[in-house]
Amino acid sequence: MKQQIDSALKLYGTPLRTRLVQESSPSPELERRVYITIHEESPLVWSFVSYRAKQSEDWTLLAVDFSDDFDKLDWSAYQLITP
């Protein structure tokens, strides 16, 4: 996972801005957040899935995915949450 993130940052550069565009939680133990990062040349869409055991305060990151292929995105599902 860290290698994927490092590769993206090497290719696209450090994000200039980050925007949270979607939060979903099908249960109290599972959460998905989608962010758009704005880079010098192109934006990226990031998806993070986290899990928390019922008795725990800590979240565990289960998956990270990012893409610059915006044709595959369902834009109707996104709204700007952070300005």
CATH number at 45 reads: 3.10.450
Answer whether residue 40 is part of any domain: yes
pTM recorded for the entire structure: 0.76
Residue 31's pLDDT is 94
Structurally, the chain folds into a number of domains equal to: 1
Answer whether residue 37 is part of any domain: yes
> Hey, which residues does 79 pair with through a beta bridge?
none
Answer whether residue 59 is part of any domain: yes
Residue 73's pLDDT is 64
Task: With beta carbons less than 8 A apart as the criterion, state whether 53 and 42 touch.
Answer: no
Domain that holds residue 23: 2-77
Answer whether residue 82 is part of any domain: no
Answer whether residue 83 is part of any domain: no
9-55 pLDDT, tens digit each: 888 999 999 999 888 898 889 999 989 899 988 889 999 999 998 77
